[in-house]
Amino acid sequence: MTFPRFYYSDQINVGESIELPHGVTHHAVNVLRLEKGDKITLFNGKGGEFLAFIKCISKAAILVSIEKFIIVERESPLQITLAQSICTNIKMDLIIRKAVELGVNNIQPILAKRCLIKLSGKRELKRVQHWQQIAISACEQCGRNRVPEVSSPVILSSWLSRKRAMQKELNNGSTEKLYFMLSPTSKMGLHDFSKNLSVTELALLVGPEGGFTSDEDAAALTAGFSSLRLGSRTLRTESAALAAIAALQTIWGDY
Q: In the predicted model, is pLDDT for residue 167 greater than 70?
A: no
Rounded to whole angstroms, the Cα distance separating 228 from 205 reads 10
Looking at residues 164-175, what average pLDDT do you find? Answer: 58
Per-residue model confidence (pLDDT) at position 182 = 97
Number of alpha helices (DSSP H) and beta strands (DSSP E) in the chain: 7, 12
Give 187-203 pLDDT, tens digit per residue. 999 999 988 778 999 99
For residue 43, give the amino acid letter: F
Q: Is the CB of residue 163 less than 8 Å from the CB of residue 224?
A: yes
Residues of the chain with CATH 2.40.240.20: 5-70
Per-residue model confidence (pLDDT) at position 238 = 94
Give 105-135 pLDDT, tens digit per residue. 999 999 999 998 888 888 999 999 999 999 9
Task: Look up the CATH architecture of domain 5-70.
Answer: Beta Barrel (2.40)
Which CATH number fits the domain 79-252, given the four candidates 3.40.50.2300, 3.40.1280.10, 3.40.50.12280, 3.90.1150.10?
A: 3.40.1280.10
Quickly state the pLDDT bin for 19 (edges 50, 70, 90). Answer: very high
Rounded to whole angstroms, the Cα distance separating 203 from 163 reads 10
Rounded to whole angstroms, the Cα distance separating 109 from 205 reads 10
Angle at 57 between CA 56 and CA 62, to 5 degrees: 90
Looking at residues 62-85, what average pLDDT do you find? Answer: 96
Residues of the chain with CATH 3.40.1280.10: 79-252
Per-residue model confidence (pLDDT) at position 246 = 97
Per-residue model confidence (pLDDT) at position 174 = 56
Alpha-carbon radius of gyration of the chain: 20
Mean of pLDDT over the chain: 92
Q: Is the CB of residue 205 less than 8 Å from the CB of residue 181?
A: yes
Per-residue model confidence (pLDDT) at position 71 = 96
